[in-house]
Amino acid sequence: MRICMPGWRHHRRTQVAAFHLPRIVHQVRFLPRCMPYKSSGEGLKMAKKISLTIDGFPITVDEGTTILEAARMYGIRIPTLCYMEGLTPYGGCRLCIVEVSRNGGEPQVVASCTYEVQPGIEVRTNTPRILRDRRMLAELLVASAPNVKIAQDIAARLGIHNVRFRFEDNRCILCGLCIRMCFEQMGGHALTFAGHGAWRRVAPPFDKRSELCKQCGGCERICPGTQIPCQGVKPEGYLCGGCAMPEERIYCCPTGNPGCFCELNPL
């Protein structure tokens, strides 16, 4: 059957395939960052393997894997705050920083959640420089949001007992998890970052309630500031220690030796 529509050129279409009729549209919204297989003209091939060294341990992972993902595969602990599996890495908290060097060159500090592995690189996760920078970041985080439990947990695990900066009364730690959850998983644009510098905050566009908000509550559930409110420090300049919860330990041996339970980086 020929279909002729006003204002359109004459195309040979069937009535079933007419684009103006209602039909189901299948959409793939999100894909994993790294797929195990890659397609080419010759068919399916295994993903390329990348060899690198993390804290002296040689490991091999798929191409496209980040340093943080590779470290977690082998039980190497790297602290994070704004990272969550299933969401695009943001690299805002910088707590996951590591040192990366190539061919014995000068190491550079990078965010492990956004830096993809490269052949032959050497990664150090707990050098004195990295630990010093992490403690400074954690101290600033506690000073900005002293009553957020996850901030005190991170500071306690890094051995921070005193805060040198003036405390503020913020509940938001600017991790961006709520924004990415709303946009990437719920398909909405109800939240965004507003302002710059010390005035940066999370707010709806133009500070007005967005019509795209689905009232799902995902932003509230994923927010670290709403999880188990801390009843510890308020005006004092020290940590109460009540949030020094022991984190679960990961026992893994990257050498693959059976029966080996060597503990790696219990941070």
For 87-155, give the DSSP string: S-----S-TTEEEEEETT---EEEETTTPBP-TTEEEESS-HHHHHHHHHHHHHHHHH-TT-HHHHHHH
Residue 239 has pLDDT above 70, yes or no: no
* Distances 68 to 65, 97, 174, 220, 252 between C-alpha atoms, Å: 8, 9, 20, 26, 16
Model confidence at 196, pLDDT cuts 50, 70, 90, reads confident
Taking the C-alpha atoms of residue 45 and residue 232, their distance in angstroms, rounded to an integer, is: 54
pLDDT digits (tens, 9 = 90+) for 98-146: 999 988 788 999 999 999 999 999 999 999 999 999 999 999 998 888 8
Q: Is 162 helix (H, G, I), strand (E, B) or coil?
A: strand
Q: Are 218 and 226 in contact (CB under 8 A)?
A: no
Q: Are 73 and 62 in contact (CB under 8 A)?
A: no
Q: Report the pLDDT value the prediction gives residue 251, as an integer from 0 to 100.
A: 38
pLDDT digits (tens, 9 = 90+) for 14-66: 444 444 444 454 444 444 454 444 444 454 567 788 999 999 899 999 998 99
Please give the distance of CA 145 from its chain centroid, rounded to a whole number. 20
Bridge partner residues of 122 (DSSP): 53, 101
Task: Say which residues have a Cβ less than 8 Å from residue 220's Cβ, sequence separation at least 6.
Answer: 178, 226
**Exposure pattern of 80-113 as b/e (b: 16+ CB <10 Å)?**
bbbbbeebebbbbbbbbbbbbeeeeeebeebbbb
Q: Given CATH 3.10.20.740, say whether it is the number of domain 48-126.
A: yes
Q: Is 9 helix (H, G, I), strand (E, B) or coil?
A: coil
Q: Report the pLDDT value the prediction gives residue 244, as an integer from 0 to 100.
A: 46
Q: Are 214 and 34 in contact (CB under 8 A)?
A: no
Lowest mean pLDDT among 128-132, 166-170, 208-212: 208-212
The model's pTM is 0.67
- In total, the chain counts a number of residues equal to 267
Residue 241 has pLDDT above 70, yes or no: no
Element (H, E) at 70: helix 67-73
* Domain boundaries of the chain, sorted by first residue: 48-126, 177-226
Give the chain's mean pLDDT.
Answer: 74
Report the first-to-last Cα separation within the chain, whole angstroms. Answer: 70
